[in-house]
Amino acid sequence: MSNEVESAAASHARLVEQRWDGLETRVSSKLAQIAGLDRGREAQLLAQAANAKTATQRVHWLRKGAQAISDAVAPLAACRKGCSHCCSISVVIPRAEALVIAKETSRKLNAAAGFEVDFEGNVIDRVREEMTQKYQGQPCVFLESGQCQIYEHRPLACRLLLNLDEDDLLCQLVPNAGPPRVPYLNSRAHEVRALLAFGNQQYDDIRAWFRH
C-alpha cells in the first residue's frame, strides 16, 4: 500500500470514528420520529403487491411502497440527488425483478446468473454477505458519470437504502479503509415483505444479471 493511500485511509478512519461518537443517539431520535409516522399508505401498497397477478404489477406496487417510505424519510436522510456511493456496493435482486427491469430497459439478462435462495434457511443473508465481499467498490453496470441510467426502473434495493446520518461521509468508499459502516434506515421489514412477495427463487447481484 502506498503512503498516500495509507494516510488517506487513516485520516478517513479518524473522521468516521469522530462521526460515530454520539451518532447512535442522533439516529435513535430520527427513528423515533419515523416510528410516529403514519405507515398506512405503505401497508396498503404492500397488500396490493401481495395480491398482484403478474411480476410486473408486483414490482409496480412494491416500487410505490418503497417511494412512500422514501418520501416520508427523505427529510431525515443524508441521501441527496447526485450522490452515488451506494452504486458501488452490492445490489442483490430476485430474477423476477431483474426480468422486469430487462423488459423495461431493453437490456439483455444474463440467463446464467442467479443463486437459489431459501428464506427459511436464511440463505439470503449468506448470499448478501458473499455479494458484499465480491462487489464492494465495483460500480454498478448502470452507473455512468455518477448518474443512474435506469433511474425510473432501478431496483427496490436501491430505492430502500437510506442513510440516516447528516451527510455522505460514512457512505464513502475509501481504498483500504474497509467496508463502510452506515446507519441505514432499517427498511428490512419492507424489503423482506417485498422479497417474500417474490418467494423462493434465484437471486444475484445486478452486475451478474446485467453485463456491460
For ligand SF4, the closer of residues 44 and 132 by Cβ is 132
- x/- track of binding to ligand SF4 for residues 116-145 (CB under 6 A): ------------------------x-xx--
Cα four-point dihedral sign 60, 63, 65, 68: negative
Shortest separation between residue 165's beta carbon and ligand SF4, angstroms: 19
For ligand SF4, the closer of residues 16 and 158 by Cβ is 158
Tell me if residue 205 falls in helix, strand or coil: strand
User: For residues 69 and 190, is the Cβ–Cβ distance under 8 A?
Assistant: yes
Residue 161 touches ligand SF4, criterion: CB under 6 A: no
For ligand SF4, the closer of residues 105 and 202 by Cβ is 105
Host H or E run for residue 144: strand 143-144
Shortest separation between residue 153's beta carbon and ligand SF4, angstroms: 8
Interface residue with ligand SF4 among 9, 72, 148, 177 (CB under 6 A) is 148
Q: What is the DSSP string of 10-21?
A: HHHHHHHHHHHT
For ligand SF4, the closer of residues 12 and 154 by Cβ is 154
User: For residues 67 and 45, is the Cβ–Cβ distance under 8 A?
Assistant: no
Strands 202-205 and 115-116: antiparallel
Cell digits of residue 191: 424489503
- Report the interface residues with ligand SF4, using CB under 6 A: 87, 91, 140, 142-143, 148, 150, 154-155, 158, 206
